[in-house]
Structure 1
Amino acid sequence: MTRIVTEPLTADAFAPFGDVLALKSAPDKLINQGLCGRHHDLATLDFADGHAGISLFDAQARTLPYTLDMVERHPMGSQTFIPMTPAPFLVIVAQDQNGNPDTPRAFLTAPGQAINLHRNTWHGVLTPLTPPGLFAVVDRIGDGDNLEEFWFETPFIVDRT
């Protein structure tokens, strides 16, 4: 099995796959009588049709090393994962290579980071590393098949080193 080493999640490294949602160095503006900083418009939602929906996902925690045997993508809409705890989670993504995923990359989030996957981006399943794995998810709600899975012939092992 091929080993994939995790890397820190940064906006530059993740840009080909989506957006990193995190506080900026300073808020765009103060609201609520100056007691709340608004960090505005951190991601672009992209849907072919349908509408944006907000769901709660309660995912089972996984451990490292992690065996990656499948990735998926959503051709009809972007997908945003917002952890509801400060715990880091694993994000696995891959570029498209003629309709199949290329070699995956693995990122570890820092507390306070969320992600928005671009439409049609190959990605691993939701992978919290500590319980509870509670996430708010913003994605496309509508008719049509918005899920494509790819099973690797030989799984990858994802670890910190």
Structure 2
Amino acid sequence: MTTPQQITVIPLTADAFAPFGEVLEAVGTPDKLINQGLCGRFHDRATLDFQSGQAGISLFEAKPRSLPYELDMLERHPLGSQAFLPMTEHPFLVIVAPDDAGVPGTPVAFLTRPGQGINLARGTWHGVLTPLHAPGLFAVIDRIGPGDNLEEHWLAEPITISAPT
């Protein structure tokens, strides 16, 4: 397989991201109103999928990156899904790739809109957490437990992720 030298960021949409997981956002009509009708609940929006262990909520503080961005490594978590919920209004970069016989295939890079988070399906190849603005603060819901839940794949040549034109 030939790896591209450069890919361009595209907007994050539920349809485009579906092969890799779920987009988490409050759009449309809430599933129900709670708190005396003053709060819309968008119910059960992510599939938490853990082979073993339990769900945990952690806070990640990642240093901001900039575009163009050099992608040199992808990782995946075979034992559990992983949801990223930004704790600021700033967009962030999401890089994912399909599995190609146990290694990442051609990556796709998405740019979130304010108010969007993601839930990576278990086993999805992805880049590291890549905020584009400070502070890079995220709530992360993922698997907590024993076992080897991290696989890394270093690219033979980096791929440049560029901003949309």
1:39 alignment partner in structure 2: 42
1:143 is displaced (CA, Å) by 0.3
> CA-atom RMSD, angstroms?
0.7
1:62 equivalent among 62, 65, 71? 65
Q: Deviations over 1:118-159 (max 9, x none)?
A: 000000000000000000000000000000000000110001
1:24 is displaced (CA, Å) by 2.4
1:142 alignment partner in structure 2: 145
2:77 equivalent among 49, 74, 79? 74
Matches within 5 A, 1:1-161: 2-161=5-164
Taking structure 2 as the reference length, the TM-score comes to 0.96
Unaligned 5+ residue runs, structure 2? Answer: none
For 2:93 and 2:27, locate their aligned partners in 1 and report how far apart those are by CA, in whole Å.
22
Aligned partner of residue 71 in structure 2, secondary structure: strand
1:160 is displaced (CA, Å) by 1.2
Aligned partner of residue 149 in structure 2, secondary structure: coil
Aligned partner of residue 13 in structure 1, secondary structure: helix
For 1:41 and 1:12, locate their aligned partners in 2 and report how far apart those are by CA, in whole Å.
18
Aligned partner of residue 138 in structure 2, secondary structure: strand
What letter corresponds to residue 110 of structure 2 in structure 1? Answer: F
Identical-pair percentage? 68
Aligned partner of residue 16 in structure 2, secondary structure: helix
1:13 is displaced (CA, Å) by 0.2
Taking structure 1 as the reference length, the TM-score comes to 0.99
What letter corresponds to residue 122 of structure 1 in structure 2? Answer: W
How many residue pairs align between the two structures?
Answer: 161
What letter corresponds to residue 87 of structure 2 in structure 1? Answer: M
